[in-house]
Each structure stands twice: as C-alpha cells, then as structure tokens.
C-alpha cells in the first residue's frame, strides 16, 4: 500500500507478563482485588516505536488487509500470490472493495468467505463475485431471506459454484499459509454467533478472524479446546461490548487487535468496555475509523503494520475515554412517541417526557425507533 505509516513488531512477546495482566484485570472486575487505578504490565515493550516519518513499505510474502469499509468488515488475505476474501462490507461498499482488490493485483480469489448473513458483511460480496473468479465460496448458512445474501448466492452460482457450508476443523492451503476453521462450534439463533471463525498460520505468526461472534459463542469456542492463541485478533463485532470477553481474550492473548468500524458510527463502536479489556491485556489497538485501511505483513517471524493515517497510540485506546471520540453516544427518548434522538436534536421532547439511553442498542432494545431528522 502506498504512503502508509509503518511500525515493526518483533516476536516473541512478553506472553507471561500479559497473561498476568489479564488475569489481574479479570480479578479486579470480579472484585477480587482493589485499586482500579493500578497500572498493568506488558505489551509496549514488544513494540519498536512507530517510525511515523516512514512513507514506504516493503512487501511481505504474507499480508492481511483490513479494508476501510466504514461500519462493516472486509479482509483481504494474500500469501505467495494467492488471495482469499473474508467479508465484503455493505452493498454500497462493493465497488470500493472491487477497486481495492484490483489495485492489489487480484485476478482470482482462491476462497471467498461470508462470515455471517448480515448486510455489513455479505453486502459487497455480490459485486466481488461478479468481477472475480473464485475457487470456492463459503457461508455458515446456505439460505437467508435478505436480497444482499441472495445476490451473493446468485453471482456465486453464475460462476458454476455452489455456496458451501464448511465444517469445523476444515483446513485450506493459501500459498504456504494454512487456514483453519475453528467455529462456530454449536447452533445459534443469534446470527452474529454463527460467524465463521478462521485461524490463519504463516510461519510462526498467527491471525484470528471472528466476524461478529459474541460472548456466548466465544465461551463455547474456548470450552471446545480449540487452539485460539493468535498474534493478531480481528476484534469481534466492530468493538462492541457484546464481544471480546475476558475468558476469550485470555485464550487468544493477541499482540494486536484490529477493530473495523465507521467514524462516529451510531452504535458508539468501539465501546469503552472493549477498549478497557484490550488495555488490560496489553493489546496494541488499530482502528479503521481513525487510521483507514490497515495492512499487517509477515515474513513468518515478525510483522509490519501499515496504516493510511498516522494516529498517536494514546488516541487509539485512550485511558480516559472522554479524551477521544470513542465514548459511547447517549440518546434521549420520547416516552410518548417512542422515538429517540441525539442530545443536539431540535425535536427533543419536554424534560418530563424524556428518557435517557446510554447507547443506540439500548434504545432499540427498549422498543424505541431512531429520529429520522438527527440520526441518519
């Protein structure tokens, strides 16, 4: 990627220190230790400070591109000239993803994965399948009721392929890397928990893609005994507090956590609860909402991390959430109309008819609908 800011991360990391930090943090949450202001060891000692003046990068034999598709997810993986795509963003992101793949020299995709059937993951895949030939296309389900999913199926079938539902334990080669399906390990009613979870190994480096998997499926995955330890984690559900529980993060213990989310998104992603857990574990956080497209390269031993925009580490995961734009957005509901508004809306109800919600999801769960004037 041109003009990307780059940092180098050397392995091995201070794993025991970070394990101890996370264990202590979990104990604090459970009330088994005091002083919430105690500093946590680990993490930063493993990182060569970001040479922010660097404008060029050396291509690595393995690269993982977290494409900036706003409040959505799309990840391109390349190894030894072979490519796979994990999700395609929203429908409106299709042309952007296609253009990005073309710029990376993609002519054929060995594998296309739809992590799960929500539009912000499957939406852009129809455009991808219409433009690039694929060896295989995968999804946790063969059918869904949405047009965007059915368009993905249609363009898959136009290539003479059938959408395949893979099974846990399946291993695919991608150049000299291996891709292993770890989850889901059970049947779920919640579509997020049906997300296909992939572990990718290249040399001694490892990566974990989780889609929108939430804490129920995380716990089941940990209890399954799967090898979850990975150096780079795609943080689940755009950094929502419904994902990335202590038990799961303790099993993964990543060096880096990549959050794909939209700038100033209506859900308040990433949530401070998630950022706090990542801080406790000494995980270096990267975010597409602040840094644009993020590319992690590996030579099989060490990493390079490239971003479109340089952002100081303190802004990516600040100790004080109020110091950044990551604090969860509050909303004001109208108890009569059952609509909720931004505090800046000109159509706020009188104070006696107001109800305060700490997040978009909380308002929706209470049966309120967003104001069409202030919430787009």
Q: How far is it, in rounded angstroms, from Cα 250 to Cα 218?
A: 11
pTM over 0.85: no
Q: In what order do the strands lie in the sheet with 339-341?
A: 354-357, 331-334, 339-341, 369-370
Contact call for residues 9 and 48 (beta carbons, < 8 A): yes
Is residue 216 classed exposed, middle or buried when 0-12, 13-18 and 19+ CB atoms within 10 A define those classes?
A: middle
Contact call for residues 266 and 238 (beta carbons, < 8 A): no
Contact call for residues 210 and 169 (beta carbons, < 8 A): no
Element at 259 (helix H, strand E): strand 256-259
Supply the DSSP string of 298-334, one letter for each residue.
Answer: E-SS-EEEEESS---HHHHS-SSGGGSTTSPPPEEEE
Contact call for residues 238 and 258 (beta carbons, < 8 A): no
Q: Residue 372: its pLDDT value, please?
A: 85
Q: How far is it, in rounded angstroms, from Cα 304 to Cα 97?
A: 22
Q: Residue 38: its pLDDT value, please?
A: 34
Q: Residue 314: its pLDDT value, please?
A: 81
Element at 287 (helix H, strand E): strand 284-287
Instruction: List the chain pLDDT tens, one digit each, 376 residues.
Output: 444 555 666 665 445 455 555 555 555 544 443 333 333 222 222 332 232 323 334 478 999 999 999 999 999 999 999 999 999 999 999 999 999 999 999 999 999 999 999 999 999 999 999 999 999 999 999 999 999 999 999 999 999 999 999 999 999 999 999 999 999 999 999 999 999 999 999 999 999 999 999 999 999 999 999 999 999 999 999 999 999 999 999 999 999 999 999 999 999 999 999 999 999 889 999 999 999 999 999 999 998 999 999 988 888 888 755 544 444 567 888 999 999 888 778 888 887 788 888 778 888 889 999 998 877 6
Can you read off the two tokens belonging to residue 140? 């946790």
Alpha helices in the chain (DSSP H): 15-29, 94-103, 119-122, 125-131, 147-158, 215-223, 246-252, 272-280, 288-291, 313-316, 360-365
Task: Report which of 207, 170, 165 is spatially closest to residue 79, judged by C-alpha positions.
Answer: 207
């Amino acid at each position: 990627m041109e003009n990307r800011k780059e940092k180098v991360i050397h392995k091995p990391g201070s794993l025991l220190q970070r394990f101890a930090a996370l264990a202590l943090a979990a104990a604090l949450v459970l009330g088994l230790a005091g002083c919430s202001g105690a500093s946590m060891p680990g993490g930063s000692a493993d990182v060569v400070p970001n040479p922010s003046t660097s404008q060029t990068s050396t291509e690595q034999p393995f690269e993982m591109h977290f494409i900036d598709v706003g409040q959505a997810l799309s990840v391109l993986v390349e190894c030894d000239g072979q490519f796979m795509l994990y999700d395609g963003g929203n429908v409106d992101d299709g042309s952007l993803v296609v253009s990005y793949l073309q710029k990376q020299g993609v002519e054929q995709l060995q594998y296309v994965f739809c992590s799960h059937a929500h539009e912000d993951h499957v939406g852009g895949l129809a455009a991808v399948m219409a433009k690039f030939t694929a060896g295989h296309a995968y999804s946790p389900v063969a059918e869904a009721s949405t047009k965007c999913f059915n368009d993905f199926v249609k363009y898959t079938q136009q290539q003479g392929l059938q959408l395949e539902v893979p099974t846990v334990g399946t291993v695919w080669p991608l150049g000299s890397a291996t891709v292993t399906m770890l989850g889901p390990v059970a049947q779920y009613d919640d579509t997020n928990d049906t997300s296909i979870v992939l572990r990718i190994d290249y040399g001694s480096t490892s990566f974990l893609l989780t889609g929108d998997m939430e804490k129920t499926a995380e716990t089941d995955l940990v209890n399954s005994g799967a090898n979850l330890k990975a150096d780079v984690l795609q943080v689940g559900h755009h950094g929502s507090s419904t994902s990335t529980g202590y038990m799961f993060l303790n099993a993964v213990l990543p060096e880096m956590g990549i959050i794909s989310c939209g700038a100033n998104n209506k859900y308040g992603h990433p949530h401070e609860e998630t950022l706090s857990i990542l801080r406790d574990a000494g995980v270096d956080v990267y975010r597409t909402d602040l840094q644009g497209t993020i590319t992690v390269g590996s030579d099989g031993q060490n990493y390079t991390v490239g971003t479109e925009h340089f952002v100081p580490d303190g802004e990516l995961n600040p100790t004080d959430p109020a110091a950044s734009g990551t604090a969860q957005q509050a909303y004001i509901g109208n108890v009569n109309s059952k609509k909720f508004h931004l505090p800046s809306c000109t159509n706020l109800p009188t104070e006696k008819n107001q109800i305060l919600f700490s997040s978009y999801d909380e308002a929706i769960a209470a049966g309120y609908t967003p104001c069409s004037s202030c919430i787009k």
